[in-house]
Chains A and B, each alone.
Chain A
């Protein structure tokens, strides 16, 4: 039989990041770490949102605090720009790695099977790629809505409470946020589970704990994010 040999490859990178990026295992580690940065942000954001329940001064004051943080050492909004830069780098690394790995997977499995029942993979695992796309599109809409204010019926920067209340009076906005947040929940459930495995943390002894952590964190984040739009819709926050 034609014995295939390992194809020649370019010389190895001298930087650690270069070596990681040129390997599928390393690239998944980059995805896991950038995903962890995004997860930290999402947790902080979700907890911050809960200030909406404490009334207008609380959440508007929190928004102002985030902008004034570190003055006069940092300029106005300095903290936000540091966070935004970190998020942009993380999103770029996460997405580029995901796209490259998805293309490699398609080349590795060009033909499908005639009959293919679902054997194992959870719904969350099977929807990672499209889920990521939905979340990315949502973030663009969300920035135009609540950060820039251009898609918001109130749309005044700094008046976070009024922006939120004006926004979530409309059921279709609540629906759009719900779809995105539920997609985020699924993405996080498999993302946390898989990320810990990519980093080599999930030994057989810890497998159950890894699974439970992934589920618990993603349910908490989903519920926390959904609480504000629904509270506005049902008149609890007004």
Chain B
């Protein structure tokens, strides 16, 4: 099948970018979206042109590297699916497919479709850990965790840090990401001692890095490949406010 891929090309962080149309034939319905980009890049290299830079690693939906804005939807039209797990059968060859990088001030474009998402790492560093002595692994049954808490914590821990929530948010907020990290630790017994200070510090880092505030529009949950629910943000807010009401 023949597709038109309308791809954002940008030579470097400071360069002007533009959308360029590429006709790509030989795409099959069961190719993944990244494989279609691979095919395009093979042709570009053969023609002596620069290939399109895009991030990817595991190609099995677990590393969070592959986020692309496809036809204006983060990770493309299929819900709860990363770009690497998306198939070309989801697209109608009659229409050009627009591929853009994540757009948010804290995610500067590095080149073409690659953005620097290290701001998310800075948020995690601000409190996304528990202070515990390391050494040999603890006895797994030493600290009992109620099953519902374990399930909810696990649901939040499924966040792969892809940044789709930020890309989709009209306010450029990272609240869904931060809330997932805060919740995953805050629900477990090991996370209790630092629960409110963690939430507060991570929310603070988010603000300081220039992310926007949450207006509860819900765009983030709709595109999250791991289906992190919007209520996770409400839970984070409770812990952040608990931290802010207390002086250090």
Contact = CB atoms under 8 A, between A and B. Distances in A.
Contact of A194 (B104, B212, B216): B216
A119 B231 contact: no
Interface string B67-107: 00101110000000000000000000000001010011110
Given A105-B212, A109-B212, A199 B241 contact: yes
A83 interface: no
Nearest to A108: B172
A194 B215 contact: yes
Contacts of A19: 244, 247
12 contacts: A1-B118, A16-B247, A24-B212, A25-B236, A101-B213, A104-B213, A105-B215, A107-B105, A110-B105, A117-B73, A198-B237, A200-B234
Interface in B101-140: 103-106, 110, 116, 118-119, 121-122, 126
Interface in A184-198: 190, 193-194, 196-198
Given A109-B170, A203-B231, A198 B216 contact: yes
B83 to A, nearest CB: 15
Contact of A204 (B168, B216, B231, B237): B231
B217 A121 contact: yes
SS of B interface (majority): mixed
A115 B209 contact: no
Contacts of B208: 6-7, 9
A128 B244 CA distance: 26
B169 interface: yes
Interface stretch (A26-34, A47-55, A145-153): A26-34
Interface of B: 6, 19, 69, 71-73, 98, 100, 103-106, 110, 116, 118-119, 121-122, 126, 152, 168-173, 200, 203-219, 221-223, 229-231, 233-241, 244-245, 247-248
A17 B83 CA distance: 43
B106 to A, nearest CB: 7
Contacts of A82: none
Contacts of B221: 120
A3 B211 CA distance: 16
Interface in A1-59: 1-7, 9, 12, 14, 16, 19-20, 23-29
B211 A111 contact: no
B237 A105 contact: no
Chain A residues touching B, range: 35 or more
B215 A128 contact: yes
Interface of A: 1-7, 9, 12, 14, 16, 19-20, 23-29, 101, 104-105, 107-117, 119-122, 125-126, 128, 190, 193-194, 196-204, 207
B122 A5 contact: yes
Nearest to A21: B244
A104 B106 CA distance: 12
A115 B19 CA distance: 11
Contacts of B72: 113-117
Contacts of B209: 4, 6-7
A125 B119 contact: no
A134 to B, nearest CB: 18
Given A20-B244, A111-B103, A199-B238, 7 more contacts: A23-B203, A28-B214, A29-B237, A109-B171, A119-B219, A120-B218, A194-B216
A43 B71 CA distance: 43
A203 B237 contact: no
Contacts of B73: 117, 119
B210 A125 contact: no
A201 B208 CA distance: 25
Contacts of A27: 213
